[in-house]
A and B are shown apart, each in its own frame.
Chain A
Amino acid sequence: MTAIELVNVSKVFLGEQQREVRAVDHVDLAIQTGEFFSLLGSSGCGKTTILRMIAGFELPTEGEVLLNGEPMGDRPPFHRPINTVFQNYALFPHLTVAQNVAFGLEMEGVSKAELHARVLELLALVQLKGFEKRRPHQLSGGQQQRVALARALVKKPQVLLFDEPLGALDLKLRKEMQLELKHMQQQLGITFIYVTHDQEEALTMSDRLAVLSAGQVQQVGTPSEIYEQPNCRFVADFIGESNFLVGQVIEQEAAGIIVLVDGELPIAIPGYTDLPIGKVVTLVIRPEKITAHRQTPTDEAGLLGKIQEIVYLGMNTRLIVQLTAQSQLIVRQQNVKRIISPMFEVGEQIRLRINPDNFQVLLEGTLRTSVQKTSKLRR
């Protein structure tokens, strides 16, 4: 079942000097009930605005937000069964921890006895027993975060919204809270919509995520879909590290196509037989999916390249290899054995092996030969 649906939603703000800012640009999203869904994007891409429209703090300029299939229209936040954990927590400074958590229940007119029991139950859930009488300024960042969580959860919302909730915490605490939130979501079965600019956070926590840029959804999918099958160069570049090889389809065979990269290096790709000859494509390959091998006279499999740079990183070694005149590949060699003396040397010719199934083919890109010509002209 769909918990939250955004249909063609746009939000236009009037910025300074009455200039229009399109913070959210024709967004369609369908978030399933009980799902941990993340909105991932860099700062200013419209994540908070989307969240605020779901909560009801902002109304869409165009389009419609639906909750369980029902259009929300201009229903105010206090009439939506949705709660938010705010970016800066927004705890009420004049109320104690217990009073903060109780606030939402008081608004519902819950009886004193039930209220007391529920507050204690929630404080136990977020491991803040014994902190009832403290005020927010007497708590650490992580504890404030837990109060904000308890305060929202006590309302038994159908959907819980998070706006970069862990942004202010240090790394170790952040990792702990990530796990805790994920467990809590699985236990409670509430739909979580989680805004973050941290790709690792989004990948580790989410059931599915949407990658946003400039107010638009670039791709929606499971973490592995987003990582392994990015649908555009932006997503491939934004999530993790990617190599891009731009080339042209020069041959079609029964099993696949041949792409000529940078006008000099032919690479065979299985499938994509419907692509016309002459079509410009971008091949995406992740650095860890390439293996580097020392050249031997007998073994000629793989692409030939010259090492430009070697960086030892402990768990792996990062090589930068010149593949063609214009393209380099980043290779991450897993250090499965102890490396006592360097495996390769800078300037060495090596062979790179790539399973062709690991290439993601994007139907976009511009051949760089023409760019080079113009830049040569300018010189």
Chain B
Amino acid sequence: MTLLNWFSQRLKTNQQRQTFALSLLLFPGTFWLLLFFVVPLLIVVLYSFLERGTYGGVDWQFTLEHYARLLNPIYWGVLGRSLLLAANTTLLCLLVGYPMAFFIASRPARWRNTLLLLVIIPFWTNFLVRIYAWIVILRQEGVINTFLESLHLVGEPLDLLFNSTAVTLGLIYGYLPFMILPLYATLERFDFSLLDAAHDLGANDLKTLIRIVLPLTARGIVAGSLLVFIPAVGEFVTPDLLGGAKSIMMGNLVHSQFLAARNWPFGSALSILMMAIVLAPILIYFRIAEQKLNA
């Protein structure tokens, strides 16, 4: 500490001292990001251009073969499905989450924290356990089928598990809170007297929603959608447990390249493809936001 004091006293101007203090505060975070995010990312990029090692790992030989292999339509199919499932999940999370966030934000202040707690409570149980619970619910001798059969509504048990619908259901279930929380954060700051004003000026509920509420909560919608979409594209646990052979996602592919096939460079190339595609909507969003700010 004395060393720091000595050093900061040697800085002449206030400006210099402030800059020094700021860099001191930012150091841990910057260091963390550099070490555990930027460096691994660079390693992944590097690996994707190297030859595959015989027992995992890499041979230090430059090659583009992994990227060439990505052109195979099989992978584009998986990628397309990942994007579709993630997009569906995001849309459905938005449709379910928006009314919920709106409801919570429009309650009296003393109710809101309790209701938010209810949204967060599932986090207290391990994700794997919660997804596994869906198997218990959806399988042939599971809760739903047993119930339907006991009412003689179905003759044969329904195939509810191991398809894209089950995966989407699991994804929605898993990521709904990530949609609700940012939506709530914007809706909580929303001035509800604007609803009265819109009604007063002749707007019905639908028009009020479209012209006033949605534009003023757009940031929350975008933030929630990104928070759901990005992790959903890369998911591998949910499709692994709830999906069948036809609902493999990019995450599964990457996962299997690293662990089963032991093809690290190809796994890296897949990761980079996925990252590039996920990055696109974010960049577009920031570009639009920037333009709006400048306008």
Q: Which residues of A contact B (CB under 8 A)?
A: 55-57, 76-78, 83-84, 86, 88, 90-94, 103-104, 107-108, 151-152, 155
Chain A residues near B204 (CB-CB < 8 A): 76, 78
Known contacts being A103-B201, A104-B202, is A77 close to B196, with CB within 8 Å? yes
Other 20 A-B pairs with CB < 8 A, given A78-B201, A83-B200, A107-B203: A57-B196, A76-B199, A77-B196, A78-B199, A78-B200, A83-B201, A84-B196, A84-B197, A86-B196, A90-B193, A90-B196, A90-B197, A92-B194, A92-B197, A92-B212, A93-B216, A94-B215, A104-B202, A107-B202, A108-B202
Minimum-distance CB pairs A-B, first 3 = A107-B202, A104-B201, A90-B197
Query: Which secondary structure characterizes the binding site on chain B?
Result: helix
- Once the chains bind, are A94 and B203 in contact (CB under 8 Å)? no
- Once the chains bind, are A90 and B201 in contact (CB under 8 Å)? no
Chain B residues near A84 (CB-CB < 8 A): 196-197, 200
Q: List 17 A-B contacts (CB under 8 A).
A: A55-B196, A57-B199, A57-B200, A76-B204, A78-B201, A78-B204, A84-B197, A86-B196, A92-B194, A92-B198, A93-B216, A94-B215, A94-B216, A103-B198, A104-B201, A152-B201, A155-B201
User: How many residues on B have C-beta within 8 angstroms of the other chain's C-beta atoms?
Assistant: 17
Known contacts being A88-B193, A92-B194, is A77 close to B200, with CB within 8 Å? yes
Bound together, the chains give a CA A56 to CA B204 distance in angstroms of 13
| Residue from the set A90, A104, A152, A155 with the largest chain B CB neighbour count within 10 Å | A90
Closest CB-CB distance, B127 to chain A, in whole Å? 37
Chain A residues near B216 (CB-CB < 8 A): 92-94
Chain B residues near A56 (CB-CB < 8 A): 199
Which residues 214-233 in B have Cβ within 8 Å of A in the complex? 215-216
Q: Which residue of B has the minimal Cβ distance to A89?
A: B197
Interface string of B77-96 (1 = CB under 8 A from A): 00000000000000000000
- Once the chains bind, are B194 and A55 in contact (CB under 8 Å)? no
A-B contacts counted at CB < 8 A amount to: 57
B246 in contact (CB, < 8 A): no
Chain B residues near A91 (CB-CB < 8 A): 197
Chain B residues near A55 (CB-CB < 8 A): 196, 200
Chain A residues near B194 (CB-CB < 8 A): 90, 92
Q: Which residue of A has the minimal Cβ distance to B292?
A: A94
Bound together, the chains give a CA A91 to CA B212 distance in angstroms of 11
Chain A residues near B203 (CB-CB < 8 A): 78, 103, 107
Q: Which residue of B has the minimal Cβ distance to A76?
A: B199
Interface string of B167-202 (1 = CB under 8 A from A): 000000000000000000000000101101111111
Bound together, the chains give a CA A93 to CA B194 distance in angstroms of 9
Q: Which residue of A has the minimal Cβ distance to B199?
A: A77
Chain A residues near B201 (CB-CB < 8 A): 78, 83, 103-104, 107, 151-152, 155
Closest CB-CB distance, A100 to chain B, in whole Å? 9
Closest CB-CB distance, B211 to chain A, in whole Å? 7
B130 in contact (CB, < 8 A): no
Bound together, the chains give a CA A104 to CA B197 distance in angstroms of 10
B207 in contact (CB, < 8 A): yes
| Residue from the set B196, B198, B202 with the largest chain A CB neighbour count within 10 Å | B202
Known contacts being A93-B216, A94-B215, A103-B211, is A86 close to B193, with CB within 8 Å? yes
Chain B residues near A86 (CB-CB < 8 A): 193, 196-197
Closest CB-CB distance, B217 to chain A, in whole Å? 10
Chain B residues near A57 (CB-CB < 8 A): 196, 199-200
Q: Which residue of B has the minimal Cβ distance to A57?
A: B196
- Once the chains bind, are B202 and A155 in contact (CB under 8 Å)? yes
